[in-house]
Structure 1
């Protein structure tokens, strides 16, 4: 990899960290999980940066918040947020970006394929987040799903639609690989 390519990758990762920070603040503060646009950035990071760099961008975001920078929803931060009941969803950003990047690199970049891939990434984030929520609160599966997943399905479907349309356009605009998110 050339030095120019490495610098471009670092800059793009940093841009997606910043995008996640900004979109995390566009929120409706409901309990126990705030509604925000962060997962839109997660989907875009995976689809544009690929598995490795998409995951790296989200890992940097999580680490920034864990050390106390106010990057999470409502300008919160600290290890208590990551270790708290909703921390599994935040950790799930890393896994979701990785999965989306991995699968997107193997598809032809059609919008419907990207939508399915992003739904899979969102499902992985739901799985990790809900499992941690259940573990940390002692709440049962049905109640956890009703609190932490069901209220978000419609909004997340809209984010999936937007992201699956934006990824091919962003890849073209940024002059990235023909196959979306190729490693």
Structure 2
């Protein structure tokens, strides 16, 4: 794949992350909404590799930082990044990079079930990094303790994020097969 194609796909995966972040359900007990935004970093990293997966999420973050409403709830601006959910948004870039490491390794030459399991494993590691950035930033901004931060920002989201990983791992393999990535 040419560099031009990879740059174009980086922009498209940035847009995918924005569209997925608009699909959200606000929760009364936390400023972190349930949304589909992590599908973007999972797919970008898995299909584009670490470098261009990371680039796609940097484009997404910069677009939102400029005030374009690509974040959850049709929001944008530096205030969102400085707010309680900003660490999660920054974590998307790290997540995409980690997912991309799995795409470039031995996992990609394995049989289909092993490819899906390998992709899912790297997505889980990427999710853990995203949670780490998000939780640390949430605790700094709100003054919350570790346990209250976990209760508000991590534990309620684990089942849904596990489902997103399962869907993204299968989808990324199907897309890669369909378009010969």
Scaled by the length of structure 1, the TM-score of the pair is 0.91
The superposition leaves residues 129-158 of structure 1 with CA deviations (integer Å, 9 ceiling, x where unpaired) of: 001111111100010000000110010000
**Matching residue of 2:79:** 80
Query: CA RMSD, aligned part only?
Result: 1.1
In structure 1, the gaps of 5 or more residues are: 177-183
1:125 is the counterpart of 2:125:
no
- The Cα shift of 1:108 comes to 2.1
**Matching residue of 1:104:** 103
The answer to whether the 8 Å contact 1:107/1:113 transfers is no
**Matching residue of 1:92:** 91
Distance 1:84 1:91 in 2: 12
Alignment of 1:170-181 (within 5 A): 170-176=175-181
Distance 2:160 2:70 in 1: 21
Aligned length: 173
- The Cα shift of 1:40 comes to 1.1
2:2 alignment partner, SS class: helix
1:32 alignment partner, SS class: strand
Q: Which runs of 4+ in 1 moved over 6 A?
A: none
The answer to whether the 8 Å contact 2:101/2:122 transfers is no
**Matching residue of 2:112:** none
**Matching residue of 2:144:** 139
